[in-house]
A and B are shown apart, each in its own frame.
Chain A
Amino acid sequence: MAGPPVSTTDHGTGPGPVPARAGIGLRHPHVQQFLDAPPATGWVEVHSENYMAAGGLRLSALERIRRDLPVSCHGVGLSLGSAEGLDDAHLAALARLFERIEPGLVSEHVSWSVSGGVYYNDLLPLPLTEEALGVFCRNVDRAQEAFGRRILVENPSTYLDFAASRIPEPEFIAEIARRTGCGLLLDANNIHVSAHNRGFDAGAYLAALPLAAVGEIHIAGHARRSIGGETVLIDDHGSRVVAPVWRLLDAALARTGPVPVLVEWDTDIPALEVLLAEAAQAEAAIRRAAAPPATARTRSAAHAA
Chain B
Amino acid sequence: MLRDLQTQMARSLLEDFKAPPPEGLVAGDAARAAARFMIHRGNVIESLVNALGHSFPAVKAVAGDGNFRVLAAAYVRVSPPPKPQLLSYGATFPEFVGGHAAAMRDFPFLADLARLEWAMSEAYYADEAPALAPETLGAVAPERLPALHLSLHPAARLCVSEFPIHAIWQAASAGGTAPDPALAPGAPQGEAVLVARPSGPVEAWKLAPGESAFLGAVAAGAPLENALAEAFAAEAGFDLAAALAALLSRGVFGAEVSFDPTLNGGVA
Contacts and interface: CB of A to CB of B under 8 A. Distances in A.
Contact of A163 (B26, B80, B127): B26
A56 B124 contact: yes
A231 interface: no
B127 A50 contact: no
A77 B154 contact: no
Interface residues of B, number: 46
A120 B38 CA distance: 14
Contacts of B129: 55
Interface residues of A, number: 52
A122 B6 contact: no
A37 interface: no
Interface string B173-207: 00000000000000000000000010011000000
Interface in A85-116: 87, 89-90, 93, 112-116
Interface in B81-117: 81-87
Given A55-B126, A55-B127, A118-B82, A82 B6 contact: yes
A131 B47 CA distance: 30
Contact of B24 (A120, A132, A162): A162
Contacts of B33: 160
B85 A77 contact: yes
Interface stretch (B7-15, B64-72, B255-263): B7-15
Given A54-B127, A120-B10, A227 B82 contact: no
Given A54-B125, A127-B24, A162-B25, A119 B200 contact: no
A232 B3 contact: no
Interface in B29-45: 31-33, 35-40, 43-44
Interface in A44-88: 49-50, 52-58, 60, 76-79, 82-84, 87
A228 interface: yes
Nearest to B41: A122
A79 B86 CA distance: 15
Contact of A161 (B1, B27, B43, B84): B27
Contacts of B2: 83, 126-127, 129, 131-132, 135
B197 A56 contact: yes
Contact of B35 (A58, A127, A227): A227
A52 B36 contact: no
A164 B10 contact: no
Contact of A121 (B7, B26, B37, B44): B44
A87 B47 CA distance: 22
A178 B25 CA distance: 28
Interface string A134-178: 010000000000000000000000011111100000000000000
Contact of B84 (A119, A126, A162, A230): A119
B36 A55 contact: no
A75 to B, nearest CB: 9
A78 to B, nearest CB: 7
A83 B3 contact: yes
B51 interface: yes
A160 B26 contact: yes
Given A57-B197, A116-B10, A121-B44, 13 more contacts: A49-B84, A55-B128, A83-B2, A90-B85, A93-B85, A118-B82, A119-B80, A119-B82, A121-B81, A122-B13, A127-B2, A198-B27, A227-B35
Interface of B: 1-3, 5-7, 9-10, 13, 24-27, 31-33, 35-40, 43-44, 47-48, 51, 80-87, 124-129, 154-155, 197, 200-201
29 contacts: A49-B86, A50-B87, A52-B85, A53-B87, A54-B154, A55-B126, A55-B155, A56-B124, A56-B126, A57-B124, A82-B6, A84-B6, A87-B84, A119-B81, A119-B83, A119-B84, A120-B10, A122-B44, A124-B40, A126-B2, A129-B2, A135-B2, A161-B27, A162-B24, A162-B25, A197-B36, A228-B31, A228-B32, A230-B32
